[in-house]
Amino acid sequence: MQHSSEFNDIIMSLDELIAACGAERGWVLALIEENIIEYDVPEKQQFTGSQLATVRRASRLSRDFEASIPAIGLILELLDEVEQLRQYKRQQEAATHSVYTIEVDFQQK
């Protein structure tokens, strides 16, 4: 396992990824075939910590819900969408709270 200066992340081989997540090789290969995870550096078949996190998350979904590989892909996609929507909502709320209203009362005497 090495560190990447370009990604500021760890870089690992397929075997290192499999060992780090504790999954079976065939199961991880099925995630790759289903495009749930992709090689971050395709020509070297290397992965980053982000893919490791995705494999671990997929493993929990498989274990907790007995989800198939295609179902895991869909669930992860929907969870990412929900997180994006929550982030958008937080940004909108922050923008709304940062706008100040000043009331000025002009009375002519």
Among residues of the chain, what percentage have pLDDT more than 90?
64
Residue 97 pLDDT class (50, 70, 90 cuts): confident
Q: Write down the pTM of the prediction.
A: 0.76
| Ramachandran category for residue 56: left, alpha or beta (phi over 0 → left; psi -120 to 50 → alpha) | alpha
pLDDT, position 44 = 82
Dist CA 1 CA 30 (whole Å): 22
Length of the chain: 109
Residue 73 pLDDT class (50, 70, 90 cuts): very high
Over residues 18-26, the mean pLDDT reads 95
Over residues 42-54, the mean pLDDT reads 88
pLDDT at 29 over 70: yes
Rounded to 5 degrees, what are φ and ψ at 26? Answer: -60, -35
CATH architecture, domain defined by 9-98: Orthogonal Bundle (1.10)
